[in-house]
Structure formats: structure tokens, C-alpha cells
Structure 1
Amino acid sequence: MAAMLKLSLSYLSRSKIQNLLIALLILLSALLVSTAVIILANTGNQFKEMHERTHGSHQILTFDKGLNDPKAVYDWWASQDGVEVSTLLRYRPLSGITFNDLDIPNLYLYMMDTPALPWKVDKLVFSSGLQSAVPEQGSVWIPTSMANAYTISAGDTIGFKTGSSTLDLKVSGIVVDIPYGAPFTNTARVWMNPADYQADFHSLGGKDTYMMGIHFNDYSMNSDYWDHYASETGAPFLETKMEFESIASFYLIISQIVGFIMVFLGVVMMIIALITIGFTISDAILANYQTIGILKSLGLTSNRTIGTYVIQYSLLSVVAILPGIALSVLVSKFIINISVSSLRVGSSDIAIKGSSAAILVGVSLFALVLLFVVLYARKARSIQPVQAIRYGMSESDHTRMSNRIHSPLGNWIGFGRMPVLAVIGIRNLIKNSKSSILMFLLTTVASSVLVLGYVLLTSITGIYQTAAKWGYDNANIAAVVVNNSTFPKDEFKQLLAEDSRIRYVGWQGNITGVFSPESSSEIHGQTISLYLSVLDGSYQELGFENLRGNNPQQENEIAVGVSVAKTLNKDLGDLIDLYIQGEKRTFIITGIYQAIANMSVSGRITMDAVRTVNPAYSDFDAIFINVNDPTQANTVANELNERFKSSASVVTQKTLLDSVYAEAADILIYPMSLIGLLFILATFIIIFSTCRISIRKENKTYGIYKSIGMTSRRIRLSVAMGVTVLSVIGAVLGSVIGVYVLPVLLEMILSGYGIVQLPLILNWGGIILFACLSIGAAALGSWFSSRVIGEASPRMLVIE
């Protein structure tokens, strides 16, 4: 045992840099995999705990169409066993705020008439500010999502736009508001003092609107309650209903995307680390072949020889894995805190779970390292002392290496006709084929990771360029009606018709369509509410796209979201029965599209379709405008917004989308940067280590080169050139994988949110630049590893 320990310590002390790099590689693997596991372990937990703590709603009913009596619906649900309901909440819609002298137009607010605390459902949890029964007069409570997005603190004053005037109110509290407090959203509930609400909105036009939350003791029974409601009232619920899945989706989507990517890439990193360890052991055995042969001739058994490597890498693993696990807790806490920041209470960090899972990852990685050590160190069993002393390797390996150098590949390449630098570089790659394959795979993986991160962030920050593929329109300008009762529709329509800069206008409303199970046995009695877009105009002209088929043009046609098609098992040409405002209509499916909004539980119909039910229907939520010259979109939007700001918010599509998705990009940039940095570091470490091993084996050859007049710089340059060429090939392949293969992993996650084909923006200039980062890491790793050539004299190299 003493001899084994002494040999292990000698191996550690003799190759300090290489062992340090191996330990660092194990640390990075433990860090990445453990971080991913902790993130996944906490995905949903933070939301679930806060939802339980606040006794959150599973469904939110909004009475904004005038199709159901709010009091009657409230009384029915309040009388049900196994169900709790919030107070019937009264509100007025507003759009836009001013804060710190900045105008923030694309923010849609429900100004709530706050009932006195405590509440049974959707209790507010104070993150900052003083808690009271209701906000003090002249003040409001705002959700954490709104405060985080615009850096608003308790004590700040916000100006709420009420048309031609601004209502200045002080923020007295910042609260966690589960239904309307998800990150990167442009909708928020603002809780007002009841006296302020009455005084400030009494003089304004329009009328009060109501909403209520429903909490089920058993959410899986919600469809039974709705069937019971429809049978008792004689009609399905016709107003807007927000489902629990929609409430939870934006709290979970970022953590799930990051966690899934990190698990996959963490496993890849771990596999690369294990292969590198195996490769290092194989070459260490080859480098110490004569020494091992002599030791075996002196009586050292094969098992003891293997044991020396087990001890060596056990020590390295323990030293590396423990800090890796500790760092993973800190990194995962940082990522989780920014991804679910709207659930944080005060300045305290969110409690992180999953430490036991991280420890299990560490133990598993330690076991895998030892397994690979044993598997690769078993080669020491076959060492024959005589062959080891004579060849420095087995006779078969000596013959195979000699044949590889003089193989037909070498003749095909034509070493005799190539420059000396190229010959040395290519010879190094061919002779050390295993290390060459490892370096090729590593640069391929590293470049694919870097390219994926760049493409993903570019696609989110530039979402306005692919808006139609995310389920949005592709119009230049969107005018969102905030107050339908005061909006001067005729004046707005006339102004648009007289403006020569405007090319096309489409008027959009929305209604709720209800799919009843009576016409299908495939959804097991579940009633489904669809968000139906109603357009007076051409979907095609405004840029709405489909994955398959076409947008509706006739009153009996409909395009449905992929989630609807999947749930109902419908395809193009199939018929679907929907209840619209209490009347049943049959539609033929002409198109299937994807949309992240409403998780693709939606449909598109024409205005004519609704008017077969209600000829007087004229409720519009948005007006989409295309201009002849897109460069004038900002000017037109600003002019319209200034004129109609009392009842509508008019912004360009870019402004509309940037206000929502810029925050998502800000959250994603940190974990993706971390992953990219780790893979660049791993590329440098592994290539440094493998090149160092190869150079050590070729010391005698390089000594001969130097003795015949080649400079150390030329030898080092030739080695680096060979590795660089290999990494360029790997980077090209990695770029293809990062653009066309890895996004499929994201589609697996996003399919649950209504996106089955991830819309990517491919900026090839940036893609090439990020792919070159792995090439740079490989070139630097090979260059720095060859410093030993320049530090040693030709005589010493030959002697070695």
C-alpha cells in the first residue's frame, strides 16, 4: 500500500499542471451538471409554494364582454363545495405610465378597487412597503413583476395615464400577485385605495369591469364543475377565462429552458471529462511503459499498478468535486433568483432546494471517474516487462504506430510535397489519432454550444423580425384600445382613411369560443375554452402565418393553434363545433399555427363568422396598421398615440414586442454566457492537456528537429497549426449542429407552451464569430502546451 501511495503521489507531483487541469475539468463537469439538477429540482417549486401560500387562483374569470352577469356567476361559484372564490373585483383598464420622466406606453393595467384584507383567494404577499388593510389614500400597490421590469421601489411616484391627464400616485407597497405578476409580462394589476378609485374614475367615461378568481381544492375536477355550470345555467361561460396553465407558464418557461439545456450540455461535458481522463491514463501508461515494466519485473502486481491510478484520480476527484458542488449551489441560486425574481419577498434570496440531488450528482461523478480509471488502467495488466524495456510500448502498439505513419493516408496526403511546418502538424495529428479525435469532438461541441447561445439570444432580442412565426401579426403599428366605451372608432377610422401614409388597416376583437365534449369522445368530457381572434380584414395582409394551411377567409372557416389541434386530434379539413356567445357554429379547419400567446389554445375566425351570431358585434381590442414606408412607422404611431391617448395606446410592433421579450433575453444571457464560458475553458484545458501528453511522447523527435536547425518557435507553430486546422473543421460541424440540431431540444420544451418550430434568426457573421471562439481556445491551448519544447535543449530532449 505504501508503494502504491508513493507512486500515486509521484505521478501527481511530476505532472502538476496536467493534473491541475484534469481536476479543473472534473470541477467544471460537477458544476455544470449539479447546477442543472438544482435548477430543474427547483423548477416549479418556487411557483407552487407561493401559489399555495397565497391560496392562488386556478382560473381567472374576466367579465369584459358583457355576456355574463358577474354577480350571478359569482353567486353560483360561491355556493359550490370544494371551491373557493375571490371577492368580485372591480377595475378600470388603463394603458401606459410615466416614471422618472420616461414615457412607458406598452403597459396594460387593471386599476383595481382594493377590497379590505384579508382575502381567501389570491392573497397578496408584501415584498416591500408597509402592509395595511387597503392602500393609503394617494398611494397604490404594484406587483413585483412591474417593479422589477422598470426598477420601481416603494416610495416612488408613478404617473398613470388617464387620457389627456396623468394620475400621480405613490407606491406604498410592492406585492407578489400570482395571476398577474409573472416575469416579462406587460399586464399588471395596480391596487388602489377605494376612495381614490371612486374619486379618480368617477369623472372618466366608461364603466366598471369585474373579475374573480377560482381556487379548486382538486384542480383536476374543474371540468366537472364547468359541465355542471353549463347544465344548470343552460349555456357555457362566454366571457374570458384564464387557465392555471397560462398563469404558471411564464413563471416556469425560463427555468425549464435553462435547466434542460444545462442538463444536456452538462452530461456532454461530463462525458468529455471522462473520456479525457481515460485518454490521459492511457497515455500516462504509454509514457511510463518502461517504468511500469521495470516495476512489474521487480514484483509490483497488475492490481497494485491499477491501484496507483485509482488513488491518484480519487484524490483529484475529491479535491475537484467538492468545490464544484459548492459553487453549483451559488450559481444555481443566482440563476433561479433572476428567473423567478417576481416571487422574491424583500431582498432575501429564495430558498433553494435540491442540495441532496447535487450531492448525488457528485457521488455519481466520483463513481464514474473511478470506473473509467479502472477500465482504462486495466491496460497495465498486459504490459510485458521485456517489451516495455525494449520498445517503450507493446510490440503490437509499436508496429501499429509505425504502420500508421507509413500508411496510404500519409502517401495520399503527399508529405514529400508539403511544407515542413504542415508535415509536422499533420504527422502529430495522425500519430496521436485518439487525441485528435478528442480535440475534434471537443471543438465541435464547444462551437455548437456557443452558436446555440448566440442564435437563441439573437432570436429573442430580434423577435420583431419573426413575430408572425411566434403567432403574432406582422403589422407595422398596433393600436390597443384601452377603453372601448370612450374610444372614438369612427373618428379613428376616418383619420386612417385620409392618411396617405397608411396602406392597410385591420380591426381585431376577441371572444371566447367553447368546445363542448358532446361532439367528440376524445377529450373525456373536458370543456375547452379557446381564445378566438376576430378580424375585420385580411389575416394574410397583416402577416399572420400558419405552420400548415391558410388563414380563414369565409365565415365557416377557422385556423386553430397547435395545442387545440393536438388536444382535439384535429387536422386540416376537419370540422370543429364551437359555442360562440351561446350559439353553436360548425367550422372547417383551414390552417394550423403556433403561438406562444395563450399557449396556442386559440383560434382565428373572420368578423363575418361572429356576425352570424351577433350582427351588431363591433367590439375591437386592437387595430393593426401597415404603412407604405416602414421608416415612417414611428412617426405615424406617435401622432396617433398623442391624439387618441385617452382611450388607446398606439405603438410600433417593435416597441410592443421589445417591452415583453427584452426582459426574457436579459434573464437568459447569464446562464447561456456561463455555459459558453465553461465550454471555452474546457476546450482550452483539454487541448492543453492532450497536446502536452503528445509532446511528451514526441520529445525525442522534437529534439532531433531542433538538432538539425529547426527553431522551437517553428516546431510549436507547426503543432498549433495542425490543431487549429482540426478545430476549424470541428467548428464548422459544430456551427451546423448549433443551428440545426440543438434547437430541436428547445422545441421539446417549447412545444408545451405552443411553439413546435422555434423561429430562429441566423446572423451568420455573428455565428462565425462565436464559432471562432472555440478555435481560438484550441489554438491557444496547443500553443501554450508546447512551451516545454522551447524550454528544453535539443540534447535533453533526445536523452529523454
Structure 2
Amino acid sequence: MKKIFMLSFANIRKSKGQTVSLFIMFLVAGFLLNAGLLVFINFGSFFEKITDELNTSDAYHIIGMNLYNEEVDRYIRNNHNVLEMEKFDSLYTWASIPYNGGTRELAFLLNDGDLERNLSKWKLIGEHLPTDSMSIYVPYVLNVDGGYELNDEFEMKIDDTIIKFTIKGFTEDGFFSSVDTGVLGLYMPHETYEKVREILGDSYKGTVVFTNLIKNDKSLETGIRELIEQGNMMTRSVLSIDLPIIQLSRTMMASMTAAMIVVFSAIVASVCLIVIRFKINNNIEEDMMKIGSLKAIGYTSRQIIYSIALQFLLIAFAGSIGGISISYFTIPIYSLIFESQSGLHWIQGFDGIISGITLGIILLAVVMVTLISAARIRRLHPIIALRGGIITHNFRKNYLPLHKSKGNLTIVLAFKSMFQNMKQSVMIGIILIAVSFSSTFAVIMFYNSAIDTKAFNEIPGVELSNAMAVLNDDADTEQLVKKIRDLDGVRKVQFIDETMVKIDDNDTLTYVMEDYSKKETDIIYEGRYPIHMNEVVISGHLAEMLQKNIGDNITLKNGEREVEFIITGLSQGINRGLMKIFMTYDSILKLDPNFKQQNLQIYLNKGVDVPEFIKTLENSYGDSIMTIVDADKNMEQSIGIYISIVSKVGIAILIITMAVVVFVLYLIISSAIIRRKHELGIQKAVGFTTFQLMNQISFGFMPPVIIGVFIGTIAGMTQGNKIMSIAQRSMGVMKANYIINTLWIISFSIAIVIISYITSMLITYSIRKISAYKLVSE
């Protein structure tokens, strides 16, 4: 064993620069893989630990405006699907609050914090202060994303009423702790709650019901709606969300980012393994006579192979341990980024299992590659090895004979060297295919999240209008719409309403629009929007669940009415769950003759100030409008954090890609210079300059670099959306449609080639130190 260690350390000392480069690459691979696995595995499980700790129920139901009665209570308690239920009174309202330097309108559930709960408890995070008059505890997301601190004033504007609180702590609960989950839960002492209830009155009173279910389906929600809802009020009188939807919303961004990191770490690790294989084959050729000498003096083939395996195993071990260690220092950064979206205060300590898996995967791959690559040593007889590997003859094909080839001598010699080292060229090409593919993917993500965000904004599946007005039930709709359409700055207006219809006795969110050809956000990935009154579009997720496809019939119900429709298209989008239907206005009238259009989408001309337009609309027609929403601002606030995360990941991948290219070229070119030192000495002796030799070597690497970058870029451009479709399928995005900006991608690909050439020239600059006499005489 001592001999094996001695040989291994001797090999490491012999190539210190290459050892350092390989160490850094393994450090990067270990860092990315461990960080990715920690986020992918532990972030999601952390949410599950929180919900287990707080005994979070399977679903919640908010029933407003005193609609919760004995009949509803009896129905829930006696429902065959309900294992356990708990209810309490609360205040449910929309309110405008200061948020991170601006304002934001959100739905809030105001709770009596002194009430004891068995289901769906809440807890305080970090430091909290003693309560006084008008104290309140707010979700932790308002600290990390909203900019609030302890003892800050918390002002809520509810319609025309302004209520001011003092923040005394930050909370966590399963359902109401993230902006993306629809409702934020606020908790306050009993005295404060009673004051707020008196200020707001009974119109904001609601009953919250937590339920644990035998089967997690929509049957309970459907039954509740049947008892208390009528007509078009159904989407506003009951709000029901189950725990899997909440978990998806709070963890999907972290999971998707972690998956991207893990895949990229696999690419970096694969590059490391390819380089190791190249190094072993190269070392065997360089040290052929040394291997023969070692065998001649008694070293066995197994000892020599093990010494080579141990050499790279030590480098991989040291690099991976370093990368794993660094990943734990960066986890708080990941946690802070994801906190802003998820509201989860994730603290990750050392995880020996995941780190052991990371280390084990890398080391096992290194052992397999080294043992397989070094196995040819077994076939080397000492005498053959001492001859440099020559058995009877060793005549290679003479590519580009100089006496027949035309062109610049430096370029001809470069191509001659490339053909003579075809395995090396193929290896470089494969590596550049991998790194350029990942860089192309990163460019696509960065461009769509930082430059042109249209495709990214369409992911939720929400219509991208500028403002939305919800009209009062008693408003003169036709006249009001005409007046709004005639306002300065208005480009067009159209109704896009929401309601509920039943499929297989489950309530399903349904969008209603008169003419889908005027819709500006196209979320149909297969087929077309409905045109006739017997046609509908359903979400891809719902189609898979029902085992339906385009052209199939589907039966929809509303009360006693039951109508059959033809599916004309499949939609995608993550907004409001994964089960959605789209139908025309004429179609909904077949199910609900009393249906009235109320949600008016308003599209403004470019340059029109949306807040100013909303003020004008409120001043002119406020009595006829229930709510006006700044849709641009809502979209910016809701998707801004996603854009920030994806763009940062894209930039990180681009930087690491460039670093990998530099390190790979250093390893390969430095080995090539050592292997060809006698040849270089002879060329210097016959008059070649250092610059000519630098270009000769660099030009020899450029063809595989260019070919690899070309193939990787084309693969990334053609397969990028397909890969993202797979990654985002669980989120409801069945067919990603990100913008592939050819100019940006080609520009970055050219940058890789240019950096590769510059790197080659810098590395080969060491040729200036070569002494022709010394190299020839050695």
C-alpha cells in the first residue's frame, strides 16, 4: 500500500498545475451537486416538517358573509370523506398595504391569536415583543420581502377605512404565510381583534373551516357550494384550497431551481470524468517507458493501476469535500432568495446523508472511470513498454503531408496535429457540446427573465391586460363598458369572467369570454380556443386526469342543468390550480341562463400611466364599479421574484460555463505541450517563432471547439423548450414557449470560441521558456 501512495503522490507532484485545475473543477461539481440536492430534497421536506409540527389540515374553506349555518355545519361534520374538522370565526378582506417601498393589494385573514387551535396551528419565528394596544403578528414573508421590521407600523387600507397596527412578531403557518398562496394570515390579541371587528362590522365576517379528509378531492367543496351559493356569486362566497396546492406554490420555484443546479452539476462532473480519462490515456503514452521500468523492477500492473486511481481519487475527494463545505456557507443565500417567494424560514444545518451521497456519487464515478481507463496497463509487457509501446511497427497515417499540402504552414501543422490526435479532438468536442448546451439553456433563461419577459409573464396563464374592473351587479353594463372604451388612452376592453361548473361532481374553475380571438395571452398548447357554443377548452392536467383529448366529448353540470361539449383545445398555466375550463359566453348561458359578465379587462395604449387611469376611472364611474385592479402592478409583484431567481441562476451557469472551458483547455493544452516538447524543440531549432508555435497549437484545438459549440448550441436552441416543458409539467406548463433569441445565443457561442482561443494563446505562452537545445538533448 505504501508503494501505491508513493506513486500516486509522485504523479500529483509531477503535474501540480493540472492537479489544481482538476481540483477546482471537482470543487465546483461538489458544490453544485450538494447545494442542489440540499435544496431539492430538504426544502420540500422542510415544508412538510412545518405542516406536521403545526398539524396543518388537508384543506381549508373560508365561507363569507354569514353564510355558514347549521345546515352547512351538519353537512361537513357528517360528510363521509371528513376525518376531522375545526372551525372558528375570522375577518376576511382585501386590503392595500405599504410593501417594499410601494403598495400592494392582498387578501387577508384577520384572526384572534388568543384562540386555541388543534388543526392548522401557527407559530412565531425569531424574536418577538410584548404586545400593547393594536399589536399584530404578521407572516414572515412581510419581513423578508415586504421590508417590515419589529415595532414597524402596519397600515391596512380596507375600502375607505384605514387601520394601523404595530408589528410585534413574525409568524409561520401552513396555509397563510406566502403571497403566492392567495391569502395572508394576520394574528392579534383578543382585545385588538375585537376592536378591529367593531371597526369593520359584520360584512367582513367569515368562518374558517379546517378539514382532514379520507380522500383529497373536491367533493366536500362542491357540496358546500351547493348549499350556500347561487349564480355568479359562487367564486366570491367560498374559498377552498387544499394542502398539495399550497405546497406546490411554496416550493415549486426552489425545486425547479435546484433541478437546474443538479443537472448542471452533472454536466460539470461528466466533464471532469472525461478529462480524467484523457489524462490517464495521455499519461500512459507519456510514461510508457516509466511504466515498463516499474514493471521490470517488480511493480505489478494492479499496483500501477491502483496508484493512478488513487491519484485522481485523492484530487476528487479533496475537491468534493471543499465544494460540499462551501455549499453549506452559501445555503443561507439560497434560503434568503427562496424566503421572498415561499415565506419559509429555512435553516439548513449539516446533512451527513446528502453530503455522503454527493461524495459517494462523485468518488464512485471517478473510481469506475480510472479503473476502466487504466486497464490497458495490464496488457503492457515490460519490454514493449520500454520500447515506448512499439511492437513490430508503429506507422500512423500521414495526414496532410507537408510536401503536398497547400496553405499557411502554421495552419497546416495545426490541422495535422489535430488529425493525429483524433481522440483528443473528439473529447474536446464532446466537452464543448455539453458546456455550450448548458450555456445556451442559461442564455434562454436569462433573456426571458431579464430582457424580454413576455413569455415568462404568460407562464401563470393570466390575461396580460393593464387593469381590471369588477362591475357592480346592478350596473348598466352595456352603457358603462361603452363609456370606459371611449376614455382617453384605452385601446380595448373585453370581459373575461370566472365561475364554477362541475365535472364528475367536482367544481372546476371556468373562464368565460365572448371572443377568444381577441385574447392577448395565448395559453393553448394544442388545438384552438372555443368558437361555437358547443365547444370548450380544458387544461392539459385536467385532460390527463379525465383521460380526454381533443375531439372527445365532456359533460358539464351546473345545478340541475347538464350539457355536453366538444373539447377543441388543451391549455396550460399555473394560475389558480391545474384544473381549468374555457368556454364562450353563449356556452355558459346554456348552463346558467342568469350568468352576468362582470370582470372587465382594460387594455391601455403604450405610455398611459395605469395608476392615473385608475384614479380617473374611480372618480368617473366609482359608484358602478366594485373593484379596480392595477393588473400591471399585480403581475410585476407576483412574478418579479421568479424572474429575479431565474436570471441569477442563468448568470451563475454562464460564469461557471466559461470557467469550465478555461480549466478544461488548461488541462488539455498543458498536457499537449509536455507530450510534444521534443517536437516543439526541433521546430524552434529549425526557426519557428514562439508566436507561430502558440498559434499552431491553438489552431489545432479550434476546429473541435467550434464544432462542439455549434452542435451544443443547436441542441440547446431546439431542445431548450422541450426540457423546460418536462421540468415545469407538474406546475401546469405542458409546453414551454420561451423566446429563443438567436442573436443572443450566437453571440454567446462566439464568445465561447473567442475565449477558448485567447485561453489557448495564454496557456501556450509558456512555450517562450522552451530551450531548443535542452529539449533536443533530453
In 1, Cα distance between the equivalents of 2:112 and 2:533?
Answer: 42
- Which TM-score applies when normalising by structure 2? 0.88
1:290 aligns to what? 289
Structure 2 partner of 1:573: 551
Change (3 A) 1:336 1:294: same
Partner of 1:520 in structure 2?
A: none
How many Å separate the matches in 2 of 1:72 and 1:88? Answer: 17
1:492 shift after superposition: 5.0
Distance 1:440 1:187, change over 3 A: farther
Query: Secondary structure at 1:632's aligned position in 2?
Result: coil
Q: 2:353 aligns with which of 337, 352, 356?
A: 356
Could you tell me which residue of structure 2 aligns to residue 145 of structure 1? 141
Q: What does residue range 513-592 of structure 1 map to in structure 2 within 5 Å?
A: 513-516=501-504, 527-535=505-513, 537-545=514-522, 546-581=524-559, 583-592=561-570
Of 371, 376, 400, the residue aligned with 2:368 is 371
Aligned to 1:740: 718
Aligned partner letter, 2:277: G
Measure, in 1, the Cα distance between the counterparts of 2:384 and 2:531.
83
Match of 2:411 in 1: 422
- Range with bigger deviation, 609-618 or 152-161: 609-618
Q: Shift of residue 688 of structure 1?
A: 0.7
Code of the residue aligned with 1:61 in structure 2: it is H
The corresponding residue for 2:18 is 18
Q: Does 1:623 align with 2:621?
A: no
Match of 2:110 in 1: 112
Q: Match for residue 608 of structure 1?
A: 586
Q: Distance in 2 between matches of 1:624 and 1:333?
A: 41
Letter of the 2:294 partner, please give it.
L
Alpha-carbon distance between aligned partners in 1 of 2:649 and 2:9, rounded to the nearest angstrom = 37
Task: Give deviations 1:47-71, integer Å, cap 9, x for gaps.
Answer: 11111222223223244699x6566
Q: 1:651 aligns with which of 630, 646, 670?
A: 630
Q: Name the aligned partner's letter for residue 160 of structure 1.
A: M
User: Aligned-pair distance for 1:591?
Assistant: 2.2
Q: List runs of 5+ in structure 1 lacking aligned partners.
A: 517-526
RMSD: 3.6
1:418-456 Cα deviation digits (max 9, x unpaired): 223322332332222222222222222212212212312
Contact in 2 for aligned 1:387/1:395 (Cα 8 Å)? yes
Secondary structure of the corresponding residue to residue 87 of structure 1? strand
Match of 1:154 among 146, 150, 156: 150
Whole-Å Cα distance in 1 between the matches of residues 4 and 59 of structure 2? 67
2:770: which partner in 1?
792
Instruction: Show CA shifts across 1:444-473 (max 9, x none).
Output: 221221221231233245675237853635
- Letter of the 2:669 partner, please give it: C
Structure 1 residue identity aligned to 2:118: K
Unaligned runs of 5+ in 2: none
8 Å CA contact 1:139, 1:171 repeated in 2: yes
Listed as ranges, the matches of 1:658-697 within 5 Å are 658-697=636-675
Separation of aligned partners in 2, 1:593 and 1:69 = 35
1:84 and 1:697 map into 2 onto residues whose CA distance is 76
Tell me how far apart the structure 1 counterparts of residues 123 and 392 of structure 2 sit (CA, whole Å). 73
Measured in 1, the distance between the counterparts of 2:744 and 2:689 equals: 37
Secondary structure at the aligned position of 1:35 is classed as helix
SS of the equivalent of 1:150 reads coil
Q: Return the alpha-carbon distance in structure 1 between the equivalents of residues 28 and 199 of structure 2.
A: 58
CA offset digits 1:634-654 (Å, max 9, x no partner): 47745546637895334254x
Structure 1 residues 640 and 74, CA, compared in 2 at 3 Å: closer, same or farther?
farther
Select the residue among 172, 178, 185 that pairs with 1:182: 178
Shift of 1:694: 1.3
Contact 2:139 2:343 in 1 (8 A): no
Report matched runs for 1:55-70 at 5 Å.
55-63=55-63, 69=68
Provide closer, same or farther for how the CA distance between residues 710 and 9 of structure 1 changes in structure 2, counting only shifts above 3 A. Answer: same
The yes-or-no answer on 1:466 pairing with 2:444 is: no
Counting matched residue pairs gives: 765
Pick closer, same or farther for the CA change 1:8–1:240 going to 2, 3 Å.
Answer: closer
What is the CA distance between 1:547 and its match in structure 2? 1.9
Of residues 120, 123, 131, the one that matches 1:122 is 120
Which secondary structure state, in structure 2, belongs to the residue aligned with residue 741 of structure 1?
helix
Q: Is the Cα contact below 8 Å between 1:447 and 1:772 reproduced in 2?
A: no
Of the three residues 210, 214, 220, the one matched with 1:214 is 210
SS, match of residue 757 in structure 1: coil
**Secondary structure at 1:470 match in 2:** coil
Return the offset for 1:362.
1.2
Distance 1:605 1:146, change over 3 A: farther
Q: How does 1:93-108 map to 2 (within 5 A)?
A: 93-94=94-95, 96-99=96-99, 102-105=101-104, 107-108=105-106
1:715-726 matched pairs, under 5 angstroms: 715-726=693-704
Give the counterpart letter for 1:116 in structure 2. D
Counterpart for residue 255 of structure 1: 254
Where in structure 2 are the equivalents of 1:50-449 lying within 5 Å?
A: 50-63=50-63, 69=68, 72-78=71-77, 82-94=83-95, 96-99=96-99, 102-105=101-104, 107-110=105-108, 112=110, 114=112, 116-128=114-126, 130=128, 137-163=133-159, 166-182=162-178, 188-191=184-187, 193-202=192-201, 207-208=203-204, 210=206, 212-216=208-212, 219-220=214-215, 222=217, 239-332=238-331, 334-340=333-339, 350-352=347-349, 354-390=351-387, 392-395=388-391, 398-399=394-395, 402-403=396-397, 406-407=398-399, 410=400, 416-449=405-438
Q: Name the CA shift for 1:566/1:495 in 2 (closer, same or farther; >3 Å).
A: same
Measured after TM superposition, the shift of residue 359 of structure 1 is 0.6
Which whole-Å CA distance do the structure 2 matches of 1:593 and 1:602 have between them?
8
SS of structure 1 residue aligned to 2:88: coil
CA contact (8 A) 1:144 1:177 kept: no
Rate the CA distance shift 1:796–1:484 in 2: closer, same or farther, 3 A: farther
Name which of structure 1's ranges 587-596 and 331-340 shifts more when overlaid on structure 2. Answer: 331-340
Partners of 1:472 and 1:56 lie apart in 2 by 29
Cα deviation for residue 181 of structure 1 reads: 2.5
How far is the alpha carbon of 1:704 from its aligned partner? Answer: 2.0
Structure 1 equivalent of residue 691 of structure 2? 713
**Separation in 1 of the partners of 2:56 and 2:756?**
52
1:660, distance to aligned residue in structure 2 (A): 1.2
Give identity over the alignment, percent: 15
Q: Distance between the aligned counterparts of 2:99 and 2:128, measured in 1? A: 21
Please give the secondary structure, in 2, of the residue aligned with 1:573.
coil
Residue 495 of structure 2 corresponds to 507
SS at match of 2:576: helix
Paired with 1:497 and 1:542, the residues of 2 have a C-alpha distance of 16
SS at match of 1:552: coil
* Distance apart, 1:772 and its partner CA: 4.3
Do the aligned partners of 2:90 and 2:109 also contact (CA within 8 Å) in 1?
no
User: For residue 608 of structure 2, what is the aligned residue in structure 1?
Assistant: 632
The letter for the 2-side match of 1:686 is V
Contact 1:421 1:714 in 2 (8 A): yes
State the distance in 2 between where 1:706 and 1:778 align.
Answer: 25
Q: Using the alignment, how far apart are the partners of 2:680 and 2:354 within structure 1?
A: 48
Q: Contact 2:448 / 2:456 at 8 angstroms: preserved in 1?
A: no
Deviations 1:372-408 (A, max 9, x none): 2222222222334444444x33348942xx31xx24x
Compared with structure 1, are the counterparts of its residues 635 and 154 closer, same or farther at alpha carbon in structure 2 (3 Å cutoff)?
Answer: closer
Contact 1:557 1:587 in 2 (8 A): yes
Q: In 2 relative to 1, CA 666–244 (structure 1 residues): closer, same or farther, beyond 3 Å?
A: same
Change (3 A) 1:657 1:292: same
Q: Equivalent residue of 1:417, what SS?
A: coil
Shift of residue 221, structure 1, vs aligned partner: 5.5
Q: Which residue is 1:524 aligned to?
A: none
| Amino acid aligned to 1:84 | M
Contact kept in structure 2, 1:633 and 1:652, CA below 8 Å: no
Q: Does the CA-based 8 Å contact 1:447-1:773 persist in structure 2?
A: no
Partner of 1:752, secondary structure, is helix
How far residue 489 of structure 1 moved from its aligned partner, in angstroms, is 6.4
Change beyond 3 A, Cα 1:157–1:486:
farther
Range with bigger deviation, 336-345 or 430-439? 336-345
Q: Contact 2:11–2:311 (CA<8 Å) still a contact in 1?
A: yes
The answer to whether the Cα contact below 8 Å between 2:529 and 2:537 also exists between their aligned partners in 1 is yes
